[in-house]
Amino acid sequence: MTTQYISEEPLAVPSPVVEIRPRETSNIRVRIGGFVAAIQSILFLAHWFVYQTWTFFRVDLDPPSITQAVLALLSVSFVAASLLAFRYFNPFVRLFYRIAATWMGFFNFFFVAAGMSWFVYLGSRLLGVTLSRPIVANLLFGLAVIAGLYGLVNARRIWVKRITVKLPNMPSTWRGRTAALVSDIHLGHVNGAGFMRRIVSMLTRLQPDIVFITGDLYDGGKVDPDQVAAPLKKLSTKFGAYFVTGNHEEFSDSTKYLDAIKGSGIGVLENDKVTINGLQIVGVNDRDSADPGRLRRTYGLHVERRRNMGSTYARWDKAGDRSHPVRVIRREFSSTRPTVATIPGTECLQAPS
């Protein structure tokens, strides 16, 4: 599918704005190293806390040396896998990353279970109630395992949420139409081309008039961007599909991602706009979306942050074109769940990241 810019009148696309950003190369490695060290230290302390809790409540199980060795390896697995994932894309790294990510998912619940174990234990002591420590640990850590298993199953589900979006002065040609919003797919070492095919298949069944992909299509690590985005070539809608970057595309040079997306037939809006049947659609890059002042100075666009469908309402001031209503497409999600949504008759497709 190739996106075509369809309009009842000539498109008003402003000239691209080139912004020169200073590069901080002198201390970038030190900053990254410090960040990695801080994250790893936190993970070490968290694993130590879970280990101490488990051995205090369950002293009758595995020898401490074995438990310590296993937890020590697991505590460094996610950082190690993440560093490898930024440099390599092969079956071994993908498997290692998936195992490490799965452990981190379970560990979040184990950490909560450890904290709750101490809360229950100390609370019972203050109340003068005697509770069996092994029973407390078995119950809370057992619930943590169940929660982790549910998370694994739920992470592969794709949800559809239908919402209605009202825009002032909506052109009659857009009333009753459906737009799909897709976000946070995070293609990479966990979600690949197969997951993208599921998204495209669901979009095909929903039959939206237009599709917006509002960032984090890629996870930001090493990946074959053309291969994982290839299923988008089969996406077909009346008014095409449009993409704006999320923060994960901007972890490094986003050119490779944008080229792959364009090669899949998706229109890319880099601080750009198109007019389709009287409706202006503005795409704002993630790095610029937090600076409404810059948007107003550059495009005469006054942004009003109203959370709805993961985007923002706006209006043109005197410097802009006020003859058409505006829809601003930018990534603004509190959830990391991949999403698809819609304009006026709106449907929202959600998939876990």
Question: For the chain, which residues make up each domain, given as ranges?
Answer: 28-154, 159-350
Instruction: Give the number of other CB atoms < 10 A from CB of residue 309.
Output: 24
Regarding predicted confidence, which is higher, 327 or 116? 116
Helices (H), 168-311: 193-206, 225-229, 255-263, 292-299
pLDDT value, residue 157: 83
Give the domain 159-350 fold: Purple Acid Phosphatase; chain A, domain 2 (3.60.21)
Q: Is residue 110 within 8 Å of residue 146, measured between CB atoms?
A: no
Mean pLDDT (the chain, rounded): 77
Strands 279-283 and 272-276: antiparallel
- On the question of pLDDT at 318 being above 50, the answer is no
Residue 175 one-letter amino acid: R
DSSP bridge partners of 313: 304
Model pTM greater than 0.85? no
Lowest mean pLDDT among 34-48, 66-80, 327-341: 327-341
DSSP bridge partners of 212: 181, 242
- On the question of pLDDT at 247 being above 50, the answer is yes
Per-residue tokens: 183: 């976000």
Per-residue tokens: 90: 């092969």
- Which tens digits make up the pLDDT trace of 7-27? 444 444 444 444 444 555 556
Provide mean pLDDT across the span 260-268: 89
Regarding predicted confidence, which is higher, 273 or 109? 109
Tell me the C-alpha distance between 222 and 260, whole Å: 14
- Which tens digits make up the pLDDT trace of 32-62? 788 889 999 999 999 999 999 988 887 665 5
Provide mean pLDDT across the span 141-161: 90
> How far is C-alpha 157 from the chain's CA centre?
15
Question: To which H or E segment does residue 280 belong?
Answer: strand 279-283
Radius of gyration of the chain (CA): 24
**Start-to-end CA span in the chain (Å):** 25
* Of 18, 65, 319, 315, the residue nearest 169 (C-alpha): 315
